[in-house]
């Protein structure tokens, strides 16, 4: 798989960098762009094959709001969250095709890569 671009929106610096570094190591031909907020990620103007976003990123746009904002671009979005109380909203967004899949935390990077590969 060559020249695929993965966009990450995750406010936790450690998790964000882990995703980025591990994806780049496991798939060296993929381009990974990581941002602290959904708003920053929205400013990326290049082609995107897939998005990984956290649900709760503190102030500003949530990961679910980010997914709805991207819905018309038809980019596979994987929403990662430990928020058990929001799972009905996540399942509804899956049903609507807004997110490709809800991924509960904790998540292994290998799992994310396998999910991305299924979409590419």
pLDDT digits (tens, 9 = 90+) for 26-40: 999 999 999 999 999
- pLDDT band with cut points at 50, 70 and 90 for residue 23: very high
Q: Return the pLDDT at 49.
A: 94
Task: Report the C-alpha dihedral over residues 63, 64, 66, 68, rounded to 10 degrees.
Answer: 170
Q: Return the pLDDT at 48.
A: 94
Q: Which two tokens stand for residue 102?
A: 């809800």
- pLDDT band with cut points at 50, 70 and 90 for residue 55: very high
Report whether 93 contacts 68 (CB < 8 A). Answer: yes
Q: Does the predicted TM-score (pTM) go above 0.85?
A: yes
């Amino acid at each position: 798989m060559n020249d695929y671009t993965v966009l990450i929106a995750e406010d936790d610096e450690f998790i964000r960098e882990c995703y980025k570094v591990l994806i780049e190591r496991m798939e060296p031909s993929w381009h990974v762009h990581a941002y602290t907020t959904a708003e920053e990620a929205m400013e990326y103007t290049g082609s995107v094959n897939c998005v990984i976003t956290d649900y709760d990123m503190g102030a500003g746009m949530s990961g679910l709001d980010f997914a709805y904002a991207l819905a018309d671009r038809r980019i596979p979005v994987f929403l990662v969250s430990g928020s058990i109380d929001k799972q009905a909203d996540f399942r509804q967004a899956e049903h609507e095709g807004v997110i490709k899949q809800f991924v509960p935390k904790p998540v292994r990077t290998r799992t994310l890569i396998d999910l991305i590969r299924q979409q590419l």
